[in-house]
Amino acid sequence: MLLLGHRGDCHVARENTIAAFDVAIENGCDGFEFDVRLTADFQAIVVHDAKVSGVAVAKNTFRRLETLDGSGDASYRLPRFKEVVARYAASAFLDIEVKVPGLESILIAQLKQSPPRRGYVVSSFHPELLLEIAKRDSSIPLGLIAGDRWMLSRRRELPLKYVIPKQHLVRSELVEECHRLGRKLFVWTVNSVRTMRRMAELGVDGIISDNTKLLVETLKKTDLS
């Protein structure tokens, strides 16, 4: 079972930054989940929200967004996707959440240039986006993120390697179905000891948490099957 930080470790560091990713790895996680968006000058950058300091990511250049970021510490600035993949390709499992269309070619090219050796998944809430990636490169492992039952139901129509539901959607039947179909199940965002242990007992393949120290301390490798 993989232990993954949610946007790195946003419990003690600014989410989706090199600092947050480093904390997740230093705390003993196998990797982390992070978000990717596209700027107006076609730069794939790591950021969750559609706006940075009130300015739309999609309508501004990466350089402009950097000036608005307001962080003097290089480890806390907005990173580029290629920087994250290259930095962690040898050391971390990467759950790459794609927030918007238009990133497909950039993602595929960068993943071929710096293939994550500990594995990865390209995940999204948007089924059409996943289908477009599959159309361009069927070797890319895809994951559907689901926050409700309707979105979860769409897993049946997609070429998935991973199913990534919110914790309240996870039941033993779903875990069994995924394994029967050769899929893996990751669960998000799990921040309590009780739920971490319950998900481990259900046999999920990965747990995503904001608090990576608590996650690793609760589910030490020696305790996992």
How far is Cα 174 from Cα 185, in angstroms, rounded to an integer?
9
Q: In this structure, what token pair is assigned to residue 193?
A: 């000891």
CA 3 to chain centre: 12
Amino acid letter, residue 30: D
Of 209, 212, 165, the residue nearest 184 (C-alpha): 165
How far is Cα 121 from Cα 124, in angstroms, rounded to an integer?
10
Catalytic residues: 6, 48
- Residue ranges of alpha helices (H) inside 89-211 are 104-113, 127-136, 149-153, 172-180, 193-202
